[in-house]
Structure 1
Amino acid sequence: MTTARTRMPPRFDARDPAVVADPYPTYAALRAAGPLCRMGPGSWGVTRYADVARLVRDPRLGSEFPPDYHRMSAGDGPAGSFFGSIILYRDPPEHGRLRRLMARAFNPALVRRLRPTIEAMVTELLDPAARTGRFDAVSDLAFPLPVMVVCALMGIPPADHEKIRPYALDLSKAFAAIVPESDRPAADRAVEWLRGYLGEILDRRRAEPGDDLLSRMLAATDDDGAVLAADEIVDNAVFAFFAGFETTTNLIATGVAALLEHPDQQALLRTDPALAPRAVEEFLRYDGPIQGVARLAREDVVVGDRTIRAGRVLILLLGSANRDPEQFPDPDRLDVTREDNPHLSFGGGIHHCLGGYLARVEAQVTFETLLRRFPTLTAAGPARRQTDGTLRSYASVPVAVGP
């Protein structure tokens, strides 16, 4: 007697132009078909909230990929070697040591002290719009602000911000699943330049410490007296430019675009500015910058009726999980008043985003300031999606503002 062959899950291509434009109908079809979809060689996508929420905390899944994986992804240059020392791609016990030390240096109290500085930065960036009646939410606000904030966090002088910004942008190319050959030289140059620049700053902080993040990373010790090595500080500070720049840029741009598309939600937020924290959480759920994270199965893992063998890669589709109707009522509706919102846009478990608190503060300050300063926000032209980046993002969101 023979048994019927298990039907293969559907295939998902994240680079399909239709998916890049709007992935959510495809996610809905994938969730309806089952908990898994096929992706690249040896890799599976996880589509449903319950499975993603469980697996993002599962110790059998790791983020530390073999060096050959990073060389295949980013090449043999500085970008490929860089991933071996950053917290994003380390597993226990090294991950625990790095996270404890970095959390002592980069904690909510440090971010709270930075809030007035962020408010002043947002005000300054919006000043030209008050004169001209329009701005681009990407190039004039969401793009420059996070770099300014990360630089302030590290004590980098404002005169160097313009010099750093293009390297921070090129650094994002290194985080593609497979970095195109055409992007690898720029990604390598960005890693090499930022390592050199931050290494020099670190040398100065060693001689004259301050209260900036680099000084605090130098001074951080855990209960066993362990400290961060200089190369660990530099590479994780370089990583902070990506984590603190790309994600926040796209969160702000996506939030502005969402408010332009949903004037009823903009009106709610204007009526009750105290909704800003909830609105930011809803922007993260509704159209999060990070649509998926990769995990390496260190042991066999069962998803649905299929066993994923050790050594395979699972892509946890956060964007799909965040629109799962089994978890979120009316998930395709933007609702800035949504209370129960356990979205997964910052991951979970031991790899929960360390900079999530900073991103939330930046976004809250931005939307509070925008809506307080301008009585109207309307589209000044069609928003354009960024089609060649690693995250879900916009290239341009033109905005007209009331006087």
Structure 2
Amino acid sequence: MSDEPKHTPHRAPWRGHGAKVPAMAPAGSRAATAGADSTVRRVAPSPLEPGATRDPYRTYRVLREEFPLTYDPLLRSWVLSRYADVAGALTDARFTHGHRPGDPPCAETHTDVDEAELRSVAERTAFVLARRLADRPRADLVADFCHWLPAGTVAAAVGVPYRDMMRLVRGRAASALAGQCTAQIAVREKALAGFLADVLADPDQVAALREAPAGLVARAWTESLRRDPPVQIVMRRAHGEIEVSGGTLPSGAPVALLIGAAGRDPERFRDPDRYDPLRDDPGQLTYGSGLCPAVALAGLEAEYALRALFRAMPRLRLADGFRPERTGVITRAPQSLIVRPGG
């Protein structure tokens, strides 16, 4: 059976540079059958193309609108970019391989989550870290705060000295102590950095969230995960033929789910490029909705990060001339977040 989708409609033409097709590209796929014109070809752009790390969202928009199902020779997989397809694939049992904290298989293994204890350790760790930065003229919240808070909360939660947890994290042994979900510290670091960047980049957001109730902070956190998720692409495999927008995935096909594209799908979100914690159509795909200590802990870290930073540094603001820039393709986050703790 050919790996070519059975039906692939296009809403409008898109012109881009043709890509060389590797030997494993499916015979008859769009990538393999691009037109004879060697200069300009009508092919789908790739999230791995040069320049995508600075701004992948233009590429995502073209894929959503014109290539909802396409084979990407750089990713060596079929690509889904629309919210309905990506959200469905993340929980559909016909897609195999992969683990997302909060999904049903994950939630079934967590029956003893003590959220009060998680809240306590997140609060203590955040305030200790924030106080260490308060007297500095400048600080990098990515290196000096976001890098340490997720590991610190895990260390406190499992009763391991903080210095030992950091050694274990660097040695990739944290999961032995904290479990597969909670040990995904790098994702929580990136998510926290992106969240703080979203808040601090807008003085109005700072004012609104400085003394905000937990519910509003949680909405701001969810909105950050939607607009700029820390994990942009996740891989799955189709177990059987599966109908999606644009055609049918062949059985056994590797599939790249573009979380970053789905989060800005205008068919699902109003004004999707805008960061709006008060939106009436919230949603995020970084985490599932089930019971999971990693999901709860990530949200608590975001909440207490804000509370601790604003309490220790009431005049906290971005350094003069600094604007956060996210980079990355598979995962994405600000590499630095330079602030003036004293305003």
Q: 2:69 aligns with which of 36, 54, 64?
A: 36
Match of 1:334 in 2: 275
Identity fraction in percent: 32
Cα distance in 1, alignment partners of residues 9 and 276 from structure 2: 39
**Larger % of helix: which?**
1
Task: Please give the secondary structure, in 1, of the residue aligned with 2:279.
Answer: coil
Match of 1:103 in 2: 110
**Offset at residue 21 of structure 1 (A):** 1.2
Whether the 8 Å CA contact 1:31–1:48 is kept in 2: the answer is yes
Query: Which aligned pairs between 1:321-360 and structure 2 lie closer than 5 A?
Result: 321-347=262-288, 355-360=294-299
Cα distance in 1, alignment partners of residues 157 and 86 from structure 2: 32
Task: Please give the secondary structure, in 2, of the residue aligned with 1:22.
Answer: coil
Q: Does 1:115 align with 2:55?
A: no
1:39–1:242 CA distance, 2 compared to 1 (3 A):
farther
Cα distance in 2, alignment partners of residues 159 and 345 from structure 1: 29
1:357–1:114 CA distance, 2 compared to 1 (3 A):
closer
Whether the 8 Å CA contact 2:181–2:293 is kept in 1: the answer is no
**Offset at residue 161 of structure 1 (A):** 3.2
Task: Tell me the number of residue pairs that the alignment of Structure 1 and Structure 2 aligns.
Answer: 302
Task: Please give the secondary structure, in 1, of the residue aligned with 2:70.
Answer: strand
Whether the 8 Å CA contact 1:45–1:317 is kept in 2: the answer is yes
Q: 2:303 aligns with which of 336, 345, 364?
A: 364
Q: 1:56 aligns with which of 74, 79, 90?
A: 90
Task: Please give the secondary structure, in 2, of the residue aligned with 1:316.
Answer: strand
Deviations 1:132-190 (A, max 9, x none): 143211111110111111122222123413423433xxxxxxxxxxxxxxxxxxxxxx4
Cα distance in 2, alignment partners of residues 6 and 33 from structure 1: 8
Q: 1:147 aligns with which of 130, 145, 151?
A: 151
Whether the 8 Å CA contact 2:9–2:246 is kept in 1: the answer is no
**Offset at residue 39 of structure 1 (A):** 2.2
**Offset at residue 104 of structure 1 (A):** 2.1
**Offset at residue 393 of structure 1 (A):** 2.0
Match of 2:21 in 1: none
Kindly provide the amino acid, as one letter, of the partner of residue 111 in structure 2.
R
Task: Please give the secondary structure, in 2, of the residue aligned with 1:324.
Answer: coil
Cα distance in 2, alignment partners of residues 151 and 125 from structure 1: 14
1:131–1:305 CA distance, 2 compared to 1 (3 A):
closer
The gaps in structure 2 that reach 5 residues or longer are: 1-6, 11-29, 32-42
Whether the 8 Å CA contact 2:194–2:224 is kept in 1: the answer is yes
Aligned-residue RMSD, C-alpha: 3.1
Task: Please give the secondary structure, in 1, of the residue aligned with 2:79.
Answer: strand
Cα distance in 2, alignment partners of residues 36 and 361 from structure 1: 37
